[in-house]
Structures are given as C-alpha cells and as structure tokens.
Amino acid sequence: MPSPVRLAEIVSALGGDLCAEQGADLVQIQGTVISRLAPLDSADASSLSFLSNPRYGTQLAASAAACVIVSPAMREAALARGAALVCDNPYLYFARLTQWWSARTRRAPVLGVHASAVVEPGARIHASVSVAAFAYIGAGAEIAAGAVIGSHCHIGADARVGEHTRLAARVTLGEACRIGARGIVHSGVVIGADGFGFAPDTAVAGLGTDAGEGPRWIKIEQLGAVRIADDVEIGANTCIDRGALDDTLIDDGVKLDNLIQVGHNVHIGAHSAMAGCVGIAGSARIGRFCTAGGGAIILGHLQLVDHVHITAATVITRSILKPGQYSGLFPFDDNASWEKNAATLRQLHALRDRLRALEKKQP
C-alpha cells in the first residue's frame, strides 16, 4: 500500500496549477493528504481523481474527491465542488501520475542470477540484471544492463533482451529473437514460435492415403526470427511468430494488449496500438500510429498506411491506402459510410413490409 502524500508533493513532481475553491486556504489545500487515486464515483476525502471528458460532469459535481485533475475548460465546474489541479491534458497527467505513484512502492528486483536458474555457457549477463528462480538463459544469449527476467522465463540461444526491459514470469523469447530497451512483456507471452507455414501435398504416393482424401500438409521451416524495437509493451498470452525467411518486425513504442496473434513476417509500425484478441495474418504490413480495436482481424499480405484506425471486430480484407477510421464485419468501409449503411440496414425489415403492402395494392 503506498504511503500517503500531500498534494504539494504531487504538484512539485508533475506540475499543474493547484487551485482552491473560493474562500478556501490554498496553503491548507497544498497540505491535503492523498492516500489513493480513485475514479470520480468512488473517490473519498483522501482521494485524488481526474476528469478527462466533460460528459462526466455530473459525476464531478457529486464526487467526494479531495481534489480533481481537470482541464482549464472545467476549472470553474471543479472549483464549485472543491479543490482542482488544472492542466492541459488531464488524462495524460493521470497516466504520468500513476507511473509516479507506482514507482514509489514498486519493489526493486533482486540483482543477480537466482541459484535455481540455468545459464548456458556463452550467455552474456550484465552485472545489473535480475534473473529470477527457474529461468533459463540459452547459449550465446545476451541480457543487457538493468533487465529483469521473471521466474520460469525461457531465453533461447542467441536471443537478446535490451536495457531495462522487464519480462514477467513464464515469458518465452525464442532462439535468435530480440527485444530492445525499456520493454514490458507480460506473463505467458511467446515470442518466436514457428509461423503457420505449410505446403499442400496432393500426391498419394508415399503418404499411405487413399486417392481422393485431399492434401497432406508439409511443414515449411521458419528460418527468420522476431525483432522488437524499444519501448514496446506486450500483453499476457500474446504470440508473435518468427518469420519464414525474413524477420517479423515490431517497431518503437508499439503497444499490444492480451491474447493478440501476430503472424510470421508481419511488420507493425512505430507507436501503433492494438486491443485484446486482434489477429494479424502473415506478411501484413501495418503503418505507424495505427490502432485496432478488440477482436479486429487483418488478413495476410495486406498493407495499412500510417494513421489507420480499425474499430472493434472489423475484418480487414483489402489493403487500406488512405488514413482514417474503418468499421464493419463484411464488407468494411470508411467509418462514416459504414454508419450510414448500418442505419439503413436496421430499417430493411420495415421497408420490406411496406413494399409488400404496396405491391398488394397494385391492380
């Protein structure tokens, strides 16, 4: 449990303009003790909360929070109920606040290699690394300064973990795969499993099958690796397959949620973000600053240019060469057109009944 802090300490660390309601003593407000961060509706007198969307203004008025982080446009509304911490981007301020808050209480990893870990000859491990119990480090692997390897992790031969990257428990980084600096990889992630590559063999001879049964699948060995750049976060149980010939590539700052499948030879551009259960088939190329909502599917060998935004459950069946927001199961379209078509689709049953009634009136 984090120790309480005073509002003045938060402002000193992160900035912002702390304001008191009319008649209140600002010095006293600065000394207000904050014991937790909380949403508006469950905050109490020792909580710091935030408002990033004006549509929740009714919750602001009713909140019992000691102080609320708001934009300049919401300053007066916030002061009508109590103290306010005013900044240009409340949501971004809140994100940085959570990092600062967490850093105060996060336990420092124990430096060194646990006695139960297995380190193969030729592995290079910096002195400032933490390797937890039952981890495995393969021959020729490199673990750079400040990295943290959780319990039961598997680091394959010739793999590399960059500076200050943290792997949670049970992460697999396959042979010759690499992740850059300051990455965060959550439990159950598999980086560098074989891509899904098989060639159909329709010949009967030598397979012991009867004619007409269909093809047998012959495995294509996956000879590439996975290269992940800096500042990438990968959610629990996400799988990133190694390339068939060239490498699968994840650029700087990419954020992947839980349970995402990234196929072989996919390239995800810098600072793109994808929500849970997204599936990306092999050799798709996704630009920079793209987003994909939960459950979206991107078929293989397609290209998405920079700044493409795909809403949840959308299936992308053709390349997108124009930035924008796209929606729909089948067929998808630009978001504005899709919404119009969806509204029309909801009326089809009533329109059918009206058409039938008109047809019956015809002589």
Cβ 193 vs Cβ 239: under 8 Å = yes
**Which residues on neighbouring strands pair with residue 193, listed in sequence order?**
241
Whether the bond into 39 is cis, omega within 30 of 0: no
Q: Give the separation between CA 242 and CA 237, rounded to whole angstroms.
A: 16
- Is 309 known to be catalytic? no
Cβ atoms within 10 A of the Cβ of 60, count?
Answer: 22
Phi–psi pair at 90, nearest 5 degrees? -60, -35
The one catalytic residue in 264, 301, 307, 349 is: 264
User: Per-residue DSSP letters for 268-281?
Assistant: E-TT-EE-TT-EE-
Residues belonging to the chain = 363
Q: Give the separation between CA 35 and CA 1, rounded to whole angstroms.
A: 9
Residue type, 25: D
3-state secondary structure of 149: strand
Cβ 177 vs Cβ 192: under 8 Å = yes
* Closest of 69, 111, 58 to residue 92, by C-alpha: 69
Q: Give the separation between CA 54 and CA 76, rounded to whole angstroms.
A: 12
Cβ 120 vs Cβ 103: under 8 Å = no
Among all residues, which ones are annotated catalytic?
264
